[in-house]
Amino acid sequence: MQSSPTADERARVLADGKTIPTIGLGVWQVPNGPECVNAVRWALDAGYRHIDTAQAYGNEESVGRALRESAVPREEVFLTTKFHPTRPDPAAELEKSLRRLGVEHVDLYIIHWPAKGPTWAWPGMEEAQRRGHARSIGVSNFSVAELEQLLALGGAPPTVNQVQFSPFEYRRGLLDACARHAVTLEAYSPLGTGRHLGEATVAAIAARAGRTPAQVLVRWCIQRGTVVIPKSTHRERIEANVQVFDFTLSDTDMTALDALDRSGGTQQAREGKWWR
Ligand code: NDP
């Protein structure tokens, strides 16, 4: 089991008992300003209850503004931000994020990548949680080896590992290790930052199912047990990308999609590490 699905598969339960909506809107590369405010507002209108931002994205103000302007109450929205690990103090950086976001806490705070090693920032992440500024804490871009070094510290275990994950990057070794350690895998770049949408197998399955390629790729992640955070700044795409709970990919389709993997079922989180 990757993480416990709830009855209607729209949410999953993290190892610390908190519930995370299965689909979130990602806002990487969305400029701070109206484009980001609109994307988040449209997502909330379309039923998303999970937004994924980061200190590195520079758009926390807009995410916060959209949350405030929306009719959806703050407590119904699962909000993630990420610690920029070239900075020294996770707890202090989260306080700045909270001011930019205009909220009292985030639901999830994760180390964006294991800069300077996988363990040094964790005590600061735990401190952010102790202060009540992060409900859950986790990591991103951690390989199995890095995850296991962190777990060996014996502190609060990370609840999630957010990694690049799609049929083309089907990191089965990493997915299996996350499941063994009760770490929920969050799939980032599920559409390959747009690159996977035109691939022939995906297009053929989508055409047969009467769905879009994006819906097929998001649905594949859900059926592989992950949380998934597609990004779009177009209203109709934002709306369509979340319409994935009313169909199922057959075992044959899942197997055909699995076969697109180019990672070799790796335990690594990245083939190339931008932080090295
Ligand atoms: P995705 O894989 O979600 O793909 C987004 C791209 O696909 C955009 O160009 C978007 O265009 C396009 N797109 C989206 N929906 C559709 C659709 N229905 N039809 C056609 N095109 C579509 O990209 P990301 O790489 O942004 O990954 C998603 C999120 O994951 C990020 O936003 C971020 O939150 C997170 N992430 C985390 C990382 C980490 O290190 N932790 C690294 C990378 C991503 P348009 O916007 O113009 O509609």
Q: Write the pLDDT tens digit of every residue in 174-219.
A: 999 999 999 999 999 999 999 999 999 999 999 999 999 999 999 9
Q: For residue 105, which phi and psi values (nearest 5 degrees)? A: -155, 160
Nearest CA to ligand 1 atom 45: 232
Give Cβ neighbours of residue 80 (< 8 Å, ≥ 6 apart): 24, 50, 51, 52, 53, 106, 107, 108, 109, 110
Per-residue burial over 94-132, b = 16 or more CB atoms within 10 Å of its CB, e = otherwise: beebbebbebebbbbbbbbbbbeebbebbebbbbbbeee
Per-residue burial over 221-231, b = 16 or more CB atoms within 10 Å of its CB, e = otherwise: bbbbbbbbbbb
Q: What pLDDT score was predicted for residue 1?
A: 39
Q: Which helix (H) or strand (E) is 186 found in, with range?
A: strand 184-188
Q: What pLDDT score was predicted for residue 2?
A: 44
Q: What pLDDT score was predicted for residue 6?
A: 54
CA atoms within 13 A on the CB side of 186: 30
Q: For ligand 1, pick from 140, 189, 229, 243 the residue to mutate: most ligand atoms within 8 Å of CB.
A: 189
Nearest CA to ligand 1 atom 3: 230
pTM of the model: 0.97
| Pocket lining: 90 vs ligand 1, CB cutoff 6 Å | no
As beta bridge partners, residue 50 has: 78
Q: How remote is the CA of residue 195 from the centroid of ligand 1, in Å? A: 10
Catalytic residues: 57
- For the chain of 276 residues, list the mean pLDDT of each consecutive stretch of 10: 61 98 98 98 98 98 98 98 98 98 98 97 98 98 98 96 98 98 98 98 98 98 98 98 96 98 96 85
Rounded to an integer, what distance in angstroms lies between the CA atom of residue 6 and that of residue 124?
A: 31
| Distance between first and last Cα of the chain | 32
Q: What pLDDT score was predicted for residue 8?
A: 78
| Pocket lining: 118 vs ligand 1, CB cutoff 6 Å | no
Check if the beta carbon of residue 257 is closer than 8 Å to that of residue 205.
yes
Rounded to an integer, what distance in angstroms lies between the CA atom of residue 188 and that of residue 199?
A: 18
Q: Which helix (H) or strand (E) is 17 found in, with range?
A: none
